Amino acid sequence: MKAGKFILPIIILIGATLFFSIFIVKEVNQAIVLQFGDPKRIILKPGLNFKLPFIQNVVFLDKRVLNLDTPPEEVIASDQKRLIVDAFARFQIIDPLKFYISVGNERVARSRLATIINSRIRNVLGQQKLQTLLSEDRSKQMALIQQGVNNEAENFGIKIVDVRIKRADLPQANSDAIFRRMQTEREREAKEFRAKGAEMAVTITSTADKEVTVILAEAEKKSEIMKGEGDGLKNKIFADAFGQDPEFFGFYRAMQAYQKALIGGETSMILSPDSEFFKFFGNKKK
């Protein structure tokens, strides 16, 4: 019974010792074994590993290619033109011991790298004109930037895989001035187009009015000609009819006169029964 009382604590102690002695390095990590803060071993390969419990601890570092977004930086080109440059970099920890001794952890490393990259961008791009920075020659400048950053990053056990510019814009004040200038230019062009449109509208309207006047005059002329031809034809027909039967023609004309004169109205006419006007109303001779 007394021996049993000691077995359980011993088992727990052995289990705790094994638990704190074993650690696993994943494929995406590399590890540094520290003893009271002093590096003892560097483990680069993944797998199961052992350390002294309670007196040693393990620091894990990422061995993948990592991304770094730097804060936007204002660059003054050699022609005194200002530009806001937003860059990013890709880096990898290639010497974990040097990395741990120089910067300690990834957060500090990112801060140091961002400062180095922005400083290098100002130095390299500041020697070029704005037109060069916005042209295809920018790739050469980025190569110089990457080379300079790599030289300093080696002191931290870091390799710079790539440095790129995500965005290069003019400062807000310059952008606003350019926008206002473009807006003024477009408004001027719009006014010119409207003026030309109004001028063309007046020309088209005047031409249309002139054509309408000419067409109406031609139509009226043709109408008068046709009316004259019709009256002439009518008179000819009447003349031919009068020549064939003068008495009937006289009677027809009298009937027309009666129709016009005898229409009801307020006008009164006093004529003699013997008037020529009533010759067709007289008594028929026996």
Phi, psi of 11 (to 5 degrees): -65, -45
Q: 8 and 36 share a domain? A: yes
Last residue of a domain, one of 175, 196, 219: 175
Looking at residue 189, its pLDDT comes to 83
Is 270 contained in some domain? yes
Rounded Cα–Cα distance for residues 89 and 243 (Å):
118
Tell me if 23 sits within 8 A of 84, measured CB to CB.
no
What's the pLDDT at 219?
Answer: 86
Q: What is the pLDDT of residue 217?
A: 84
Q: What is the pLDDT of residue 284?
A: 47
Q: Per the structure block, which two tokens stand in for 165?
A: 């510019």
Report the mean per-residue pLDDT for the chain.
Answer: 80
Residue 152 lies in a domain: yes
Examine the fold and report which residue of 35, 62, 89 is the final residue of a domain before the chain moves on: 62
- What pLDDT is recorded for position 192? 85
Is position 136 within any domain? yes
- The pLDDT, as a whole number, for residue 109 is 94
102 in a structural domain = yes
Q: Structure pTM?
A: 0.55
Q: Looking at the structure, do residues 6 and 81 belong to the same domain, yes or no?
A: no
Q: Are 157 and 98 in contact (CB under 8 A)?
A: yes
What's the whole-number mean pLDDT along residues 227-255?
Answer: 73
Domain containing 137 equals: 66-175
Do 165 and 126 belong to one domain? Answer: yes
**Residue 193 maps to a domain:** no
Domain count, the chain: 3
Residue 214 to residue 109: CA distance in whole angstroms: 89
Q: Are residues 109 and 163 in the same domain?
A: yes
Residue 59 is predicted with a pLDDT of: 93
Q: Are residues 51 and 33 in the same domain?
A: yes
Residue finishing a domain among 30, 62, 94? 62
In the structure, what pLDDT confidence band is assigned to residue 228 with cuts at 50, 70 and 90? confident
Inside any domain, residue 76:
yes
Least-confidence region, from 11-25, 171-185, 187-201, 214-228: 171-185
27 and 111 both lie in a single domain? no
pLDDT category at 155 given cuts 50, 70, 90 is very high
Predicted confidence (pLDDT) at residue 270 exceeds the cutoff of 60: yes
Question: Is it the case that residue 159 has pLDDT exceeding 60?
Answer: yes
58, 78: one domain: no
